[in-house]
Amino acid sequence: MTATSRNTTDSLRYEERDGVAWIGFNRPESRNAMTWEMYDALEAHCDRLATDANVHAVVLHGVGGEAFVAGTDIAQFADFDKPEDALGYEQRIDRVVGKLEALNKPTIALIEGACVGGGAALALVCDLRFATPGMKFGVPISRTLGNTLSITNVTRMIDMIGVARTKQALMLGTLFSAEQASEAGLLNGVFEADAITDEVAAVASELGRRAPLTLQASKALVGRALEQRRLHREASDDWITTCYMSRDFKAAVDKFLNKTPFEWTGR
């Protein structure tokens, strides 16, 4: 077994083992909530991996066993005070998630525990998803922050879990279990926590024995088909601005940071 480590940032681990890149979200004390630094590091890895002939597959996973990624770190929203902040954030997410989606190598999400918000967006664009029985998947923003996803990420959810479940996730804030996600066709397999790393490693190794051009063509052509069903990215700018600039969003962020009470007002 050969292994190579590259640390773009301490909060995003990177290791290569036998031609497989393992990218670990490493903020277990915050359930691996994503910082700007982590998003930037993930984007940099995607850019580099696109031309790395030594890597045939990429595995994304959370560190600590309690979460894949529990969304974006809410503290980073505290200074949002103009529409450009909200639009810039959603554009950043679209860009980074889009880089992962378009990466010319097979990608696998190894999901333990919470896979919500930005974590759900990342998992949705991986080619394969494997989880432990304790996984919770969703985007509970109707219960937490009162913001919205971009039209691109809404479309990704519809493509993967259907219209009814997308509305359930976004409007009710439902977190789907591994069993429910499997029934929806979202997961490729469910494994116990003590076995999932070995099982995913075996799948990644198997991908290395498949025809590389067929893998690339299959991923690219599926991507083209999905892209044809998507609206222009600016199609959600009005609702992104409305939600992120609302009193409700500011109050929800303040509640998270300062434990202050609030009630939804719709303003």
Q: Determine the pLDDT at residue 9.
A: 78
Question: Does 216 fall in a domain?
Answer: yes
For residues 51-80, average pLDDT:
96
235-256, pLDDT tens digit by residue? 999 999 999 999 999 999 999 9
CATH code for the domain in which residue 167 is found: 3.90.226.10
State the sign of the Cα–Cα–Cα–Cα dihedral 42, 243, 162, 180. Answer: positive
CA 179 to chain centre: 19
Indicate the length of the chain as a whole number. 267
User: What does 98-159 look like in DSSP terms, one character per residue?
Assistant: HHHHH-SS-EEEEE-SEEETHHHHHHHHSSEEEE-TT-EEE--TTTTT-----HHHHHHHHH
Residue 6 has pLDDT above 80, yes or no: no
Confidence category of residue 29, pLDDT binned at 50, 70, 90: very high
Q: Determine the pLDDT at residue 164.
A: 97
Structural domain harbouring 177: 3-258
Q: Determine the pLDDT at residue 5.
A: 54
169-227, pLDDT tens digit by residue? 999 999 999 999 999 999 999 999 999 999 999 999 999 999 999 999 999 999 999 99
Q: Cα(153)–Cα(62) distance, rounded to whole angstroms? A: 21
Going from the C-alpha of 33 to that of each of 56, 170, 172, 188, 207, the distances in angstroms are 27, 19, 22, 24, 29
User: CA angle at residue 147 from 142 to 148, to 5 degrees?
Assistant: 90
User: What strand order describes the sheet that includes 176-177?
Assistant: 67-70, 114-116, 136-138, 176-177
> Count of domains in the chain?
1
